[in-house]
Amino acid sequence: MTPPLKTLVIGAGICGLSSAIWLRRAGHDVMLIDKDGPGAGASYGNAGLLAQWAMIPVNTPGIARTGLKYMLDPNEPLFMQWRYFPKLVPWLLKFMSNATDKGVRATVDGLMPLIADSVSQHEALTRGTAAAKWITNSDITYAYANRKAFDKDSYGWNLRRELGYIPELVEGPAVQEAEPMAGPNIQCLATLKGHGHILNPGAYCDALAQVLQEEGGTICQATVQDFDIRDGKVKAVITDRGTLPCDHAVVSAGIWSKELMTKLGLKVVMEAERGYHLHLKNPSQMPRNPMMLVKGKFGVNPMSSGLRCAGTVELGDHNAPLSNAPLELIRKNIKWAFPDLKYDEAEEWMGFRPSTPDSLPLVGEIGGTGVFAAFGHQHIGLTAGPKTGRWVADLITGKRPNVDLSPYDANRFG
Ligand SMILES: Cc1cc2nc3c(=O)[nH]c(=O)nc-3n(C[C@H](O)[C@H](O)[C@H](O)COP(=O)(O)OP(=O)(O)OC[C@H]3O[C@@H](n4cnc5c(N)ncnc54)[C@H](O)[C@@H]3O)c2cc1C
C-alpha cells in the first residue's frame, strides 16, 4: 500500500483551516503550520458576515474621485498611510484600471461561484462537528441615513438586482419599528433575506482546528521561511523549527503570502487593506440581524460575546502598528447610528485584508511546483474560505472542480 501524500498547509486562518480539513477528508497526511496558531490573522477579528451578497468590488466606476475625497476627510471611512504611498503605487494603478463597468463585471463573474453558496459551504465543512454551532442563518440589512444615500449606491444595487438579490426597503418612521436599535439618523434600511453569519470568528477557527485534529490532521506552530524546490517540484518547506518534507504545499498565509511567493520567484501584486474592529462587551442593545452601517462602511454583527463593529479601510503597510483615527471614526459612527447604545468596554483590533487589484483571490498551482495558492480574498475571505479549501483539495487530489478556475489563476501576475 502506498503511504498517503504529505501535504503541508501554511497559515491557519479560514482558508488554511478549510483547505487542511478538506485535504484530510480526501485522504492526505496533513500538517497545518502557523507562526502564531489558528485564527491569529484576519480570520479572528473580521465582521463575521457570510457575505454571499458581497460580489461588488470596492473599485467601482468613479472611485478615483470619491476615494481621493474620502482620504482627505477624516470623517470618511477611507484612510491612507501617506508614507507608504510610493510603495502602494503599482497596486493602486492596477486597482484603478479595473474601476470600469467591464472590470467590475469581470470581478462579479469571478466572485459569484466562490461566494454565492457560502452558508451551505460552511455547513458542509462543519456538518456533524462541534464547529457547526458557530454558524447561524440571518438576513443582512444595509442601514442608510436616508433614501438619497441609498440611491447614491444604485450602481451596486442595480448589479445585485441583475443577479436576483432584491432588497426589501423600509423608510421613515417604519425604520425604528423594523430595527428598534436604529436612532433617528437612520431613515432607510435595505434588507437582503436568507444569508448567515458566524457567532464568534475566533472561536470558530479554534473549533475548526479541533475538527482537523480529531479527523487525523496535525497542527504545528512554526514560521515558514522558504521552500526546498528541486527539479521544479517542492520537496520540503523550511521553517524556523526545521525542514519539513512534503509532496505538496498550500500557501494560505493571508497578506503574508506575498512574501512567501517571492521565495518562488513570484511578485504578486497584493496589498493590505487594513481594517479595524471595536468589539463591544455587554451591549445594552443588539440589532435584530447583522447590519452594514453604510456611512461608516462597517458591519455591525450581534455575536455570542458582544456586538462587533468591524470594517473601514486604511491603505498602508501591514508591518506598521494600529492607527487611532479609524477606531475613533467607528466610535463616532456608532454614537451617530445608535444613540441609546451603552456598553462596558470595547476591544480594539486591526487586521489585514489581502487584496489584489482585480479583487479576486489566487487559487491553484504555482507553475508545476506542487505549491498551491489559496490567498488574496480581500473583504470576503471568511465567506469564501470553505469553498476555496474544497477547490484546493480537489486540485491536489487530481479532481477538476466543476467550475472555471481561470479568474483565480495563481500565475496571473507573472
Ligand atoms: C475589519 C475586517 C472585517 C472583515 N469582515 C469580513 C466579513 O464580514 N466577511 C468576510 O467574508 N470577510 C471579512 N473580512 C476579510 C476576511 O477576514 C479575510 O479575507 C480572511 O480572514 C483571510 O483569511 P486567510 O485565511 O486568507 O488569512 P488570515 O486569517 O490572515 O490567516 C493567515 C495566517 O497565516 C499565518 N502566517 C502568516 N505568515 C506565516 C508564515 N510565514 N509561516 C506560518 N504561518 C504564517 C498567520 O499567523 C495567520 O494565522 C474582514 C477583514 C477585516 C480586516
DSSP 137-205: EEEEEEEESSHHHHHHTHHHHHHHHHTT-PPEEEETTHHHHH-TT--TT--EEEEEEEEEEES-HHHHH
Q: How many CA atoms lie within 13 A of 142 on its CB side?
A: 23
C-alpha 395 to ligand 1 mean position (Å)? 22
Phi, psi of 101 (to 5 degrees): -60, -40
- The secondary structure of residue 295, as a DSSP letter, is T
- The secondary structure of residue 323, as a DSSP letter, is P
**Which distant-in-sequence residues (6+ apart) come within 8 Å of 357 by Cβ?**
59, 91, 94, 95, 97, 98, 269
Q: How confident is the model at residue 3 (pLDDT cuts 50, 70, 90)?
A: confident
From atom 4 of ligand 1, which residue's Cα is the shortest distance away? 46
pLDDT 10s digits, 107-142: 999 999 999 999 999 999 999 999 999 999 999 999
Phi, psi of 154 (to 5 degrees): -65, -30
Tell me how many helices (H) and strands (E) the chain has: 13, 19
Q: What is the pLDDT of residue 368?
A: 95
Nearest to 222 by CA among 412, 35, 32, 39: 35
CA distance 206 to 127: 16
**Dmax (CA) of the chain:** 70
Predicted model pTM: 0.98
pLDDT 10s digits, 32-83: 999 999 999 999 999 999 999 999 999 999 998 888 889 899 999 999 999 9
Which cell is 82 given? 501617506
Q: Quick check: CB of 277 below 6 Å from ligand 1?
A: yes
Ligand 1: which of 353, 355, 388, 391 to mutate, judged by most atoms within 8 Å of the beta carbon?
353
Domains, the chain, in order of start with CATH, read: 6-44+203-267+359-408 (3.50.50.60), 52-100+132-199+270-355 (3.30.9.10)
Question: Residue 397's Cα: distance from chain center in Å?
Answer: 25
How far, in Å, are 11, 51, 316, 330, 379 from residue 299 at the CA level?
Answer: 25, 11, 21, 10, 11
CA distance 293 to 314: 17
- The secondary structure of residue 315, as a DSSP letter, is E
Q: How confident is the model at residue 400 (pLDDT cuts 50, 70, 90)?
A: confident
How far, in Å, are 111, 165, 211, 351, 411 from residue 7 at the CA level?
Answer: 27, 39, 17, 27, 21
pLDDT 10s digits, 6-36: 999 999 999 999 999 999 999 999 999 999 9
Helix (H) or strand (E) holding 31: strand 29-34
Q: Are 7 and 17 in contact (CB under 8 A)?
A: no
pLDDT 10s digits, 239-256: 999 999 999 999 999 999
From atom 48 of ligand 1, which residue's Cα is the shortest distance away? 41
Q: Quick check: CB of 223 below 6 Å from ligand 1?
A: yes
C-alpha 9 to ligand 1 mean position (Å)? 14
pLDDT at 101 over 70: yes
Nearest to 252 by CA among 391, 60, 148, 404: 391
pLDDT 10s digits, 304-361: 999 999 999 999 999 999 999 999 999 999 999 999 999 999 999 999 999 999 999 9
Phi, psi of 242 (to 5 degrees): 120, 175
C-alpha 14 to ligand 1 mean position (Å)? 7
C-alpha 188 to ligand 1 mean position (Å)? 32
**Which 3 state secondary structure label does DSSP give 231?**
coil
Q: Quick check: CB of 32 below 6 Å from ligand 1?
A: no
Nearest to 218 by CA among 3, 12, 15: 12
Residue type, 137: N
C-alpha 132 to ligand 1 mean position (Å)? 20
Residue type, 390: R
CA distance 7 to 163: 38
DSSP-derived pairing of the beta strands 233-239 and 242-245 = antiparallel
CA distance 141 to 144: 9
Q: Quick check: CB of 381 below 6 Å from ligand 1?
A: yes
Q: Are 336 and 185 in contact (CB under 8 A)?
A: yes
Atom number in ligand 1 closest to CA 380: 11
